[in-house]
Amino acid sequence: MDIKIGFADSPRELVIPTGASQDDVVDQITGALKSDDGILQLEDEKGRKFLVNAERIAYVEVGTTAQRSVGFAGA
């Protein structure tokens, strides 16, 4: 699943591939937005940690955890 974060006053996005569940990621994001320090900490599939200043976040897109089917079997 990919997490896409857009920042205020910046045309670039941060895309983080993660193995965490969608509910866990949403809980982390909402917790960071409500916290006093305002730091969002996420970890990608390779174990790298990302620290993001929650004040600068314009939007967050959380992908789906469902696997997409490949091929023409369901067509």
**pTM, 2 dp:** 0.79
Question: How far, in Å, are 56, 63, 70 from residue 1 at the CA level?
Answer: 23, 5, 16
The bridge status of strand 39-43 relative to strand 13-17 is: unpaired
Token pair belonging to 42: 């996420």
Q: Where are the domains of the chain?
A: 1-38
Band of pLDDT at residue 73, cut at 50, 70 and 90: low
The string of pLDDT tens digits covering residues 1-55 is 999 999 999 999 999 999 999 999 999 999 999 988 989 999 999 999 999 999 9
Backbone angles phi, psi at 60, to 5 degrees: -135, 130
